[in-house]
């Protein structure tokens, strides 16, 4: 099955930084026709950035890209399409009010005389595409309400109709059921037989072994392994992906959990999460693991009062919280470091100082007026404690690096001396050194008696920081492990719904 | 500190919108004085201030609302509704104090309707207040019909003519100054003011910081309603006439002043100092155009241009960058394909 021909696409030594964060340091990739190539790595290893380079969304700072042996620049998504590269995202972005056929031919509809759109031809060609893929999807259907699996198929049909020869699938199976995955794999085999080069990105290694022939492993923005899959084991891949061990919390750092701080009982938001019951004690770090979209962030938002919930209760330090009121949650001692720090954590136009003080203004007033000296001292104090790197406290927070911005968000909440701190993806998109600092900070806070609920998609983080690990899948809690009994395999099994194969 | 950073700070201070406005104001005064000998006379300046009093007053709550990321286009209709009700109640012989109490209530209710529609139903304030702009004007017409009420007694109907004792400042300007000081303190020195900037610059981050976005916005609309109702009283007494179309179209002047003040139409930026300067610049410009017998049909063009420039200039950097990005994307790219 190994084609002798030159690779269809080869990316060599690509690099890309965002501010101080090096997302990809040395990314290389070779895709051949008639081959499904797996790209694996931990969250933050640089896979998505690599994909965005191929999609024409990010320009690499260095490196070269060859298509059919010729150097190509991809300054825009249109250029990527023209080069024959199509990207199927985990959640496709179709126009919801148009039909499947209209989406497939968006921007290049077949025309009749008088520039009228030839709908009949469009539908016939769409139907033919689905025929080639072997899936019965009605081209006349409006896209709104299509399952994610069907939307992906529409995207694949679109890619085929553009004669794409490189098809990139960015975690296509993350939100699919087992039957949908099986159908998608049939389609992938069809594409492969037709000579397409497929790049398949997945966290699920068993899928990689099922469908792929070659694999590239990335770690910390570098290619660390590229080889035929035959002869490799899942353990080989995991070892290549993880590479380094995170410092384990020592027994001394793990404090005895104290009083109950957060108690969530049967919290339900219809269609989002169901029957969530959990507790976090003082001095305890509870990690909430699960796939993206499993409802973890939504639970945190409901606890903090951003969203309403339909049933259940949230109590902090024995006091039941009012629904949908962040200010009530804050008064009860809850702090929330959201996942999207640029949109939710920070006011990017405001200064470092103003952002740090934003949740604590009530305590910095005299006779109703905010004392700027007190505000400055407050911000300077927290900046020093968290070793924030900044020019001036009055600089816009947007000038800081991602890691330092995250420190500002942490300072903003630590300044309120919370009893419960919810952190959502606390180290996403920040550099490794700052990441370690954030981990250390969370451990210290727990030692000081703060109850911490940490949502994280990074399993090493979950395993090494968490005292207890809860796993969510499709809006429900599916497993709970102590840090002693937890393992990546157990968590992934609970997160992906393969608990049955798992010995208790 | 690196020298280029210092230079940048110095430049950004010099490029502050308020600095530019002060220069513009100076320019208008100099040119106005040069163009017409009447421009700098006490009576003309009094006239200039008194005719822009209501717009100036209404611009203050509008500033807070636009900074918070919303807009209230119903201000002039609330003024008209208040004027009509004042005329009607006076015509059926209500005591003036009772009328004032009713008008405060009227403004509060009108603002509350705006605020609740925006915050509780989550409708865009632009659409909501275009709706209430028509609605409140319609109510004004229902209250007073085509009638004109003008028999207001002496202490009231001289408000547009006499100055605050021992000064040359008209009453409406004095009220504006007091309200401007209050607004300035609230906006620039209180936690609420900081919250307004935060919710305008990033509504989501404000919500995630525990700021009571809905409550604060509702209160702003109520305050705006009350202030505009009060402006309706001033307007009525200044013209000594209550009629349903009082202040028709005035909302555009109010928005124009606020934008000229450097308040970002996208929210999150602006200052009360800028508003004070813009009120004076706008009044000066209107007055100078009038004195120099500038073609009356063309004044609309001048004001429209000022409005557009004030929307464009503060965002010029961002708009320029966006244009650059567009150009980059439009550059045709034909990668090598066999």
Of B1, B194, B336, the CB nearest to A70: B336
In a domain? residue A370? no
A-chain residues within 8 Å CB-CB of B269?
349
Task: Estimate the share of chain A in helix, then strand, then coil, as percent rounded to the nearest 5.
Answer: 35, 25, 40
Tokens 């708009």 sit on residue: B319
Residues contacting B319, CB < 8 A, separation 6+: B312
Q: CA A354, CA A38: separation in Å to the nearest integer?
A: 45
Please indicate, yes or no, whether residues A52 and A187 belong to a single structural domain of this protein: yes
Residues contacting A6, CB < 8 A, separation 6+: A68, A69
Q: How far is B186 from chain A (nearest CA, A)?
A: 8
Q: How far is A10 from chain B (nearest CA, A)?
A: 14
Q: How far is A390 from chain B (nearest CA, A)?
A: 12
What token pair was written down for B81? Answer: 């509704």
In sign, the C-alpha dihedral spanning B22, B24, B25, B31 is positive
Residue A118 and residue A111 in contact, taking contact as beta carbons nearer than 8 Å: yes
Q: CA B327, CA B332: separation in Å to the nearest integer?
A: 10
Q: Which of residues 62-81 of A touch B (CB under 8 A)?
A: 67-68, 70-76, 78-79
- Looking only at the bridges linking them, the beta strands covering A197-201 and A35-40 are parallel
pLDDT classification of B293: cutoffs 50, 70, 90: confident
Q: How far is B79 from chain A (nearest CA, A)?
A: 31
Axis-axis angle for helices B272-291, B296-312 (nearest 10):
160
Residue A243 and residue A41 in contact, taking contact as beta carbons nearer than 8 Å: no
CB pairs A-B closer than 8 Å: 97
Q: Please enumerate residues of B whose Cβ is less than 8 A from a Cβ of A.
A: 1, 5, 185, 189-191, 194-195, 197-198, 201-202, 204-212, 268-269, 328-329, 331, 333-338
User: Which of A215, A242, A269 is the C-terminal boundary of a domain?
Assistant: A242
Structural domain range at position A482 = 251-333+418-501
pLDDT of residue B86: 97
Residue range B212-217: average pLDDT? 96
Q: Number of structural domains, chain A?
A: 2
Residues contacting B106, CB < 8 A, separation 6+: B81, B82, B85, B225, B229
A-chain residues within 8 Å CB-CB of B204?
343-344
**Closest CA in chain B for residue A367:** B190
Q: CA A294, CA A274: separation in Å to the nearest integer?
A: 11
Please indicate, yes or no, whether residues A293 and A157 belong to a single structural domain of this protein: no
**Closest CA in chain B for residue A331:** B210
Please indicate, yes or no, whether residues A255 and A177 belong to a single structural domain of this protein: no
H or E stretch covering A134: none
Residue B225 and residue B110 in contact, taking contact as beta carbons nearer than 8 Å: yes
DSSP code of residue A342: I
- Please state whether B247 falls in left (phi above 0), alpha (psi between -120 and 50) or beta: left
- The CATH number linked to A268 is 3.40.50.300
Please indicate, yes or no, whether residues A454 and A326 belong to a single structural domain of this protein: yes
* Residue A76 to residue B194, Cβ atoms within 8 A: no
Q: CA B242, CA B143: separation in Å to the nearest integer?
A: 11
Please indicate, yes or no, whether residues A188 and A298 belong to a single structural domain of this protein: no
A-chain residues within 8 Å CB-CB of B263?
none
Residue to mutate among B213, B314, B335, with most A CBs inside 10 A, is: B335
Residue A364 and residue A371 in contact, taking contact as beta carbons nearer than 8 Å: yes
Of A82, A347, A412, the CB nearest to B333: A82
pLDDT of residue B1: 42
Q: CA B35, CA B288: separation in Å to the nearest integer?
A: 8
Q: Which of residues 317-336 of A touch B (CB under 8 A)?
A: 326-327, 329-330, 336
Q: CA B149, CA A294: separation in Å to the nearest integer?
A: 66
- Looking only at the bridges linking them, the beta strands covering A21-31 and A9-18 are antiparallel
B-chain residues within 8 Å CB-CB of A71?
336
In a domain? residue A262? yes
Look at residues A329, A272, A286, A299 and name the one whose alpha carbon lies nearest to residue A482: A286
Range with the largest mean pLDDT of A148-157, B79-88, B149-158: B79-88
Q: How far is B314 from chain A (nearest CA, A)?
A: 14
**Read out DSSP for A343-384?**
III--TTSBHHHHHHTT-GGGGEETTEE-HHHHHHHHHHHHH
Q: CA A353, CA A103: separation in Å to the nearest integer?
A: 47
Please indicate, yes or no, whether residues A235 and A277 belong to a single structural domain of this protein: no
Residue-level pLDDT, tens digit, chain A, 504 residues = 444 467 899 999 999 987 667 789 899 999 999 999 999 887 678 888 899 999 999 999 999 999 998 999 999 988 999 999 999 987 788 999 999 999 999 888 999 988 899 999 999 999 999 998 888 899 999 998 888 889 999 999 999 898 899 999 988 887 777 788 899 999 999 999 999 999 999 877 888 999 999 999 998 889 999 999 998 888 788 778 776 555 566 655 677 788 999 999 999 999 999 999 999 999 999 999 988 788 999 999 999 999 999 999 999 999 999 999 999 999 999 999 999 999 999 999 999 999 999 999 989 999 889 999 999 999 999 999 999 988 899 999 988 888 899 999 999 999 999 999 999 999 887 777 788 889 999 999 999 999 999 999 888 889 889 999 999 998 999 999 998 898 888 888 888 776 544 443
- Looking only at the bridges linking them, the beta strands covering A311-316 and A365-366 are unpaired
* Residue A71 to residue B202, Cβ atoms within 8 A: no
How many CB atoms within 10 Å of residue B333? 17
Look at residues A374, A375, A330, A354 and name the one whose alpha carbon lies nearest to residue B195: A354
Q: CA B115, CA A391: separation in Å to the nearest integer?
A: 40
- pLDDT beyond 90 at B308: no
pLDDT of residue A250: 61
- What is the C-alpha radius of gyration for chain B, rounded to an integer number of angstroms? 22
**Read out DSSP for A290-306?**
E-TTSSHHHHHHHHHTS
A-chain residues within 8 Å CB-CB of B209?
326, 358-359, 412
In a domain? residue A104? no
Please indicate, yes or no, whether residues A431 and A491 belong to a single structural domain of this protein: yes
* Residue B204 to residue A343, Cβ atoms within 8 A: yes
pLDDT classification of B331: cutoffs 50, 70, 90: very low
pLDDT of residue A1: 43
A113 touches chain B (CB under 8 A): no
Average pLDDT in chain B: 89
Give the up-direction half-sphere exposure of residue A145: CA atoms within 13 A in the CB hemisphere.
5
Residue B261 and residue B67 in contact, taking contact as beta carbons nearer than 8 Å: no
Distances (CA, A) of A187 to A36, A132, A174, A195, A315: 12, 9, 17, 13, 48
Grouping H, G, I as helix, E, B as strand and the rest as coil, residue B294 is coil
Q: Which of residues 39-58 of A touch B (CB under 8 A)?
A: none
B-chain residues within 8 Å CB-CB of A75?
328-329, 331, 333
Q: How far is B190 from chain A (nearest CA, A)?
A: 5
User: Which of A242, A269, A301 is the C-terminal boundary of a domain?
Assistant: A242
In a domain? residue A429? yes
Please indicate, yes or no, whether residues A174 and A236 belong to a single structural domain of this protein: yes
Please indicate, yes or no, whether residues A22 and A159 belong to a single structural domain of this protein: yes
A-chain residues within 8 Å CB-CB of B197?
347, 350
* Residue A82 to residue B201, Cβ atoms within 8 A: no
Q: How far is A73 from chain B (nearest CA, A)?
A: 7
Please indicate, yes or no, whether residues A217 and A257 belong to a single structural domain of this protein: no
Q: CA B181, CA B162: separation in Å to the nearest integer?
A: 23
Residue A87 and residue A200 in contact, taking contact as beta carbons nearer than 8 Å: no
Distances (CA, A) of A229 to A37, A100, A194, B171: 9, 36, 21, 85
A-chain residues within 8 Å CB-CB of B181?
none
In a domain? residue A423? yes
Residue B261 and residue B277 in contact, taking contact as beta carbons nearer than 8 Å: yes
Of A68, A75, A354, the CB nearest to B194: A354
pLDDT of residue A501: 42
Of A75, A338, A350, the CB nearest to B333: A75
**Closest CA in chain B for residue A350:** B198
Give the up-direction half-sphere exposure of residue A293: CA atoms within 13 A in the CB hemisphere.
10
In a domain? residue A165? yes
B-chain residues within 8 Å CB-CB of A353?
none
In sign, the C-alpha dihedral spanning B79, B81, B82, B83 is positive
Tokens 């935060």 sit on residue: B198
* Residue A68 to residue B336, Cβ atoms within 8 A: yes
Please indicate, yes or no, whether residues A237 and A276 belong to a single structural domain of this protein: no
* Residue B208 to residue A326, Cβ atoms within 8 A: yes
* Residue B338 to residue A346, Cβ atoms within 8 A: no
Residues contacting A258, CB < 8 A, separation 6+: A281, A282, A283, A284, A449
**Closest CA in chain A for residue B184:** A369
In a domain? residue A385? no
**Closest CA in chain A for residue B212:** A327
Of A70, A344, A362, the CB nearest to B205: A344
Residue to mutate among B189, B193, B205, with most A CBs inside 10 A, is: B205
A-chain residues within 8 Å CB-CB of B185?
369
pLDDT of residue A2: 45
**Closest CA in chain A for residue B338:** A68
Please indicate, yes or no, whether residues A265 and A237 belong to a single structural domain of this protein: no
Both ends of chain B: CA-CA distance in Å?
A: 54
- Looking only at the bridges linking them, the beta strands covering A116-117 and A111-112 are antiparallel
* Residue B335 to residue A344, Cβ atoms within 8 A: no
Q: CA B78, CA B63: separation in Å to the nearest integer?
A: 17
B-chain residues within 8 Å CB-CB of A330?
210
What token pair was written down for A482? Answer: 């102590």
**Closest CA in chain B for residue A56:** B329
- Looking only at the bridges linking them, the beta strands covering A365-366 and A369-370 are antiparallel
pLDDT of residue A502: 40
Residue A178 and residue A1 in contact, taking contact as beta carbons nearer than 8 Å: no
Domain boundaries, chain B: 20-25+36-311
DSSP code of residue A250: P
């Amino acid at each position: 099955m190994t084609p002798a021909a030159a690779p269809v696409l080869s990316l060599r030594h690509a690099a890309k930084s965002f501010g101080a964060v090096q997302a990809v340091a040395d990314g290389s990739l070779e895709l051949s026709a008639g081959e499904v190539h797996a790209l694996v790595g931990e969250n933050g290893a640089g896979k998505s950035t690599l994909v965005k380079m191929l999609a024409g969304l990010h320009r690499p700072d260095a490196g070269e890209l060859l298509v059919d042996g010729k150097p190509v620049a991809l300054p825009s998504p249109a250029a990527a399409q023209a080069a024959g590269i199509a990207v199927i995202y985990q959640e496709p972005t179709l126009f919801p009010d148009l039909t499947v056929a209209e989406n497939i031919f968006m921007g290049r509809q077949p025309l009749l005389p008088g520039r009228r759109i030839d709908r009949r031809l469009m539908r016939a060609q769409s139907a033919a595409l689905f025929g080639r893929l072997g899936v019965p999807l009605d081209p006349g259907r409006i896209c709104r309400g299509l399952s994610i699996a069907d939307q992906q198929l529409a995207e694949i049909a679109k890619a085929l109709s553009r004669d794409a020869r490189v098809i990139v699938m960015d975690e296509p199976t993350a939100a699919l059921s087992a039957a949908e995955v099986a159908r998608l794999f049939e389609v992938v085999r069809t594409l492969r037989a037709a000579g397409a080069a497929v790049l398949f990105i997945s966290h699920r290694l068993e899928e990689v072994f099922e469908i792929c022939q070659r694999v590239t492993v990335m770690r910390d923005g570098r290619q660390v392994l590229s080889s035929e899959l035959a002869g490799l084991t899942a353990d080989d891949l995991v070892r290549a992906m993880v590479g380094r061990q995170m410092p384990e919390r020592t027994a001394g750092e793990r404090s005895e959990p104290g009083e109950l701080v957060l108690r969530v009982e049967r919290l339900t938001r219809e269609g989002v999460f169901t029957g969530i019951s959990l507790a976090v004690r003082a001095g305890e770090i509870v990690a909430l693991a699960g796939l993206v979209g499993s409802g973890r962030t939504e639970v945190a938002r409901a606890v903090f009062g951003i969203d309403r919930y339909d049933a259940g209760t949230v109590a902090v330090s024995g006091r039941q919280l009012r629904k949908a009121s962040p200010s009530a949650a804050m008064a009860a001692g809850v702090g929330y470091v959201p996942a999207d720090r640029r949109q939710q954590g920070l006011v990017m136009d405001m200064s470092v100082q103003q952002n740090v003080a934003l949740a604590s203004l009530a305590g910095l007033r005299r006779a109703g007026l905010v004392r700027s000296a007190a505000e400055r001292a407050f911000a300077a104090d927290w900046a020093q404690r968290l070793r924030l790197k900044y020019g001036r406290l009055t600089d816009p927070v947007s000038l800081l690096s991602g890691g330092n911005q995250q420190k500002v968000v942490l300072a903003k909440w630590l300044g309120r001396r919370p009893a419960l701190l919810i952190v959502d993806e606390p180290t996403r998109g920040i550099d490794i050194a700052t990441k370690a600092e954030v981990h250390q900070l969370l451990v210290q806070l727990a030692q000081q008696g703060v109850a911490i609920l940490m949502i994280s998609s990074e399993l090493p983080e979950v395993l090494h920081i968490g005292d207890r690990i809860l796993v969510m899948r499709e809006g429900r809690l599916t497993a709970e492990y102590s840090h002693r009994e937890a393992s990546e395999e157990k968590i992934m099994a609970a997160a992906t719904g393969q608990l049955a194969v798992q010995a208790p | 500190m690196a020298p280029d950073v210092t230079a940048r700070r110095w430049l950004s201070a010099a490029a502050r919108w308020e600095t530019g406005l002060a220069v513009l104001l100076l320019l208008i005064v100099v040119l106005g004085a040069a163009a017409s000998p009447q421009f700098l006379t006490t009576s003309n300046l009094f006239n200039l201030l008194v005719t822009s009093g209501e717009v100036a007053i209404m611009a203050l709550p509008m500033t807070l609302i636009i900074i918070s990321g919303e807009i209230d286009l119903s201000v002039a209709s609330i003024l008209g509704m208040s004027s009509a009700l004042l005329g009607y109640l006076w015509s059926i012989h209500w005591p003036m104090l009772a009328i004032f109490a009713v008008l405060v209530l009227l403004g509060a209710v009108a603002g509350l309707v705006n605020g609740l529609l925006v915050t509780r139903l989550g409708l865009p304030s632009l659409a909501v207040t275009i709706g209430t702009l028509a609605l409140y004007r319609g109510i004004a017409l229902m209250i007073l019909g085509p009638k004109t009420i003008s028999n207001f007694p002496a202490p009231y109907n001289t408000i547009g003519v006499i100055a605050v004792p021992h000064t040359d400042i008209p009453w409406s300007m004095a009220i504006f100054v007091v309200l401007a000081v209050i607004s300035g303190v609230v906006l620039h020195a209180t936690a609420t003011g900081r919250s307004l900037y935060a919710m305008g610059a990033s509504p989501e981050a404000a919500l995630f910081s525990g700021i009571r976005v809905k409550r604060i916005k509702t209160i702003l609309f109520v305050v705006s309603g009350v202030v505009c109702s009060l402006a309706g009283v001033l307007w009525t007494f200044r013209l000594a006439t209550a009629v349903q179309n009082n202040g028709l179209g005035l909302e555009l002047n109010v928005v124009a002043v606020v934008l000229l003040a450097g308040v970002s139409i996208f929210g999150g930026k602006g200052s009360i100092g800028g508003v004070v300067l813009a009120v004076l610049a706008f009044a000066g410009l209107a007055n100078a155009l009038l004195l120099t017998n500038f073609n009356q049909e063309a004044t609309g063009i001048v004001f429209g241009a000022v409005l557009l420039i004030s929307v464009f200039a503060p965002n010029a950097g961002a708009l320029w960058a966006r244009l650059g990005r567009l150009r980059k994307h439009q550059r045709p790219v034909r990668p090598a394909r066999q």
